[in-house]
Amino acid sequence: MTVLLDVRGLTVDFTGPRAHRAVDGVDLSLAPRERLAIVGESGSGKSQLLLACTGLLAANGRATGSVRFDGLELLAGGEPAPRVRGAGIGFVFQDAGGSLTPHRRVGDQLAEVVHQRAGTSKRDAAGESAAMLERVRLPDPRGTLARFPHELSGGMRQRVAIALALMARPRVLFADEPTTALDVTVQADVIALLAELCDGLGMALVLVTHDLGVVAALADRIAVMYAGRIVEEGAAPVLLSNPAHPYTVGLLAAVPTLAGQKGGEIATIAGLPPEPGTAFSGCRFEPRCPRAGERCRALDPALEVVGDSRVACHFPVAPGQAA
């Protein structure tokens, strides 16, 4: 399989008063045109993983390991990561408003990317910008070019943020919780839009989300993160129908359904995720796991092939078996 993005042993450490390890030895790969979803609770390291790959960590963050994009190492220092951003990897951030400069018109922000990429005239850049806004299904693209971000709704700003990431024609799009701040109807529209754009532009996609409904609609493959580690990874249909890690089982059980939950209550995972900086001697999920045993408390499980997935668990759940 051709690999476009290859992550090996990626670790992200933060220094300072709240020093902690946010990502701990993650291995991931992405093929051209593939759609990978990274899921897990808040604080599991999903966003920091993407930021580390693009050299956008906070000043007190340090990434080690290897991140190769089309054979180019991005963690070697110097220019590779900044050079890959944009034309190589586009980024749609969770806060669309924060992605846009508030005092500049939408058209100026989009045209700047076109000019940097192709050196086109102002008129041609405006035309290409309007065409991209039309592609992300914004009504009145020409009129939107003249507006400021605060004049747009949340859904419109998110579409502009997607258009801005696409103006450099990236080969991979990183989308970090792109629908979190949107209402349900707009969320569905944005997800359909991302799928359409990936197909139409031939892009690969890495989607960070906690919404498993979004994952089911969009992903080819899923990686489940917990406390900085990947605990399960596999093809989306397999993982969603036969999860092997108890954490994944718990996430899927907690998804509300129209039929409702048994007893009328939404299922939850017992306990809370570990605090940043927690020291681990065994499995990180052990304090919350209904299947945990003595081995789990003493030995951290490696990510190994189980059936059609990779799972980090001493006692994985067999297909059809309750957690």
Q: In this structure, are residues 69 and 32 in contact, taking their beta carbons and an 8 Å threshold?
A: no
Q: Which pLDDT score, from 0 to 100, does residue 188 have? A: 79
Length in residues, the chain: 323
State how far the Cα of 39 lies from the Cα of 107, in Å rounded to an integer: 34
Give the pLDDT score at 247: 96
Region of 14 please: left (phi>0), alpha (psi -120 to 50) or beta. Answer: beta
Strands 35-39 and 20-30: unpaired
Residues 6+ apart with CB under 8 A from 157: 96, 97, 100, 149
pLDDT of residue 268: 84
State the Cα torsion 233-234-238-240 to the nearest 10°. 40
Q: Rounded to whole angstroms, how far apart are CA atoms 302 and 70?
A: 27
pTM: 0.90
User: Mean pLDDT throughout 209-226?
Assistant: 89
CB 164 within 8 Å of CB 114? no
- Tokens read off for 22: 């946010």
| CA end-to-end distance (rounded Å), the chain | 33
Q: Could you say which of 3.40.50.300, 3.40.640.10, 1.10.150.120, 3.40.366.10 is the CATH number of the domain covering 5-219?
A: 3.40.50.300
The percent of residues above 70 in pLDDT, for the chain, comes to 93
Q: How many CA atoms lie within 13 A of 262 on its CB side?
A: 2
pLDDT the model gives residue 152 = 92
Q: What is the pLDDT of residue 322?
A: 59
What would the mean pLDDT of 105-110 be, rounded to a whole number?
A: 94
Which pLDDT score, from 0 to 100, does residue 312 have?
96
What letter does residue 274 receive in the DSSP assignment?
A: P
Domain boundaries, the chain: 5-219, 226-311
The backbone torsions φ and ψ at residue 277, rounded to the nearest 5 degrees and listed phi first, read 90, 0
Sign of CA dihedral 178, 182, 184, 187: negative
Alpha carbons 30 and 248: distance in angstroms, whole number: 21
Of 103, 90, 98, the closest CA to residue 164 belongs to 90
Question: Is the CA virtual torsion 194, 45, 43, 299 positive or negative?
Answer: positive
pLDDT, averaged across the chain: 88
Amino acid letter, residue 253: A
